[in-house]
Amino acid sequence: MRFDEIVIRTDRLDFPALAAGDGPVVVCWHGFPDHPASFGPLAERLVAAGRRVVAPFLRGHHPSTVDQLPFGDGLTLAADAAAVNAALSSEPLDVIGHDIGAGMAGRLAATRTDLVRRVVTMSVPPPAALSRIFADPAQQQRFFYLFMFQVPGVAEALLNDTLIEYLWRTWSPGLTVPDHVREMYADPAVRANALKLYRANFDRSLHDPALAHLAQVSEKPAEIPMLVLAGADDGCVTPENYAGAATALAPGSRVEVVAGGGHFLQLDRPDEVAALALDWFR
């Protein structure tokens, strides 16, 4: 897929993004360790169906924004997603979020219903269901990296190409790390920002106090129905962790387990994901 690189100017930050196609906009947010270009196969199918795909770089994950991550909490990222939607259109937009981007999309839907039309999330349960999966010791073991990233010095030493290759191979069997991902995380500043996002899960000094009031609604089920996709072969968050997800979603929402899909569903199963997303958007 050939993307154009654009800049989305918002009242929070100028967000570099990859864009392709014409028609109603679908905003796609990537996760860790990943890059907007990984939406390429999915974008190709959405563009062929008459949609415009805009895939921004997470704050702090592009050379122009590496020094623009004072806070790393989920509300900061959700506010970024809200600013992007508002800048792109005066009408609510469709959103797809993968991994960290899934949390962004879910919190955006919970906090700014006026900016969102339909939401698809991939590979992470909705925010209102996340706390439950930490009760599973096997899932805690799969999240070893999350806890390792809290240890200063150790995290910086071990977040390298070898670890990223291991995570991709473990999370989506059969996939190898794309060159664009390797190149992004070769930058020490990007790696430091990725660690900041994970440390913000536990370190409240990395939470923006100006957004604290949004926490009253951001972790509750969004009022907007969501399509939640899980990979049957996801080695990061396994399908059984979605068993109670429906209770954390608005009426009319759906949870689908994609057969043969790993964690990186946009690469593993672009045909199936595109078909599900386009049907959901209709």
Q: Is 175 exposed, middle or buried (0-12, 13-18, 19+ CB in 10 A)?
A: middle
Give kind and range of the element (H or E) at residue 17. strand 14-20
CB 231 within 8 Å of CB 172: yes
Q: What's the CATH number of domain 4-281, 3.40.50.300, 1.10.3470.10, 3.30.420.40, 3.40.50.1820?
A: 3.40.50.1820
Tens-place pLDDT, residues 191-215: 999 999 999 999 999 999 999 999 9
pTM: 0.97
Task: Enter the DSSP assignment of 226.
Answer: E
Backbone Cα Rg of the chain:
17
Secondary structure of residue 116 in the 3-state scheme? strand
Q: Which of 219, 196, 220 is nearest to 208 (CA)?
A: 196
Q: What is the pLDDT of residue 184?
A: 98
Least confident segment among 23-27, 242-246, 251-255: 242-246
Task: At 18, give phi and psi (nearest 5°).
Answer: -100, 140
Tens-place pLDDT, residues 61-106: 999 999 999 999 999 999 999 999 999 999 999 999 999 999 999 9
Q: What is the pLDDT of residue 244?
A: 83
Supply the mean pLDDT for the chain: 96
Least confident segment among 48-57, 126-135, 153-162: 126-135
Amino acid at 280: W
Secondary structure of residue 188 in the 3-state scheme? helix
Q: What is the pLDDT of residue 96?
A: 98
Please enumerate in sequence order all residues whose Cβ is within 8 A of that of 123, keeping only pairs 6 or more positions apart, or say none: 31, 98, 99, 102, 229, 230, 231, 234, 236, 237, 263, 264, 265
Tens-place pLDDT, residues 106-140: 999 999 999 999 999 999 999 988 888 888 899 99
Please enumerate in sequence order all residues whose Cβ is within 8 A of that of 234, keeping only pairs 6 or more positions apart, or say none: 123, 171, 172, 261, 262, 263
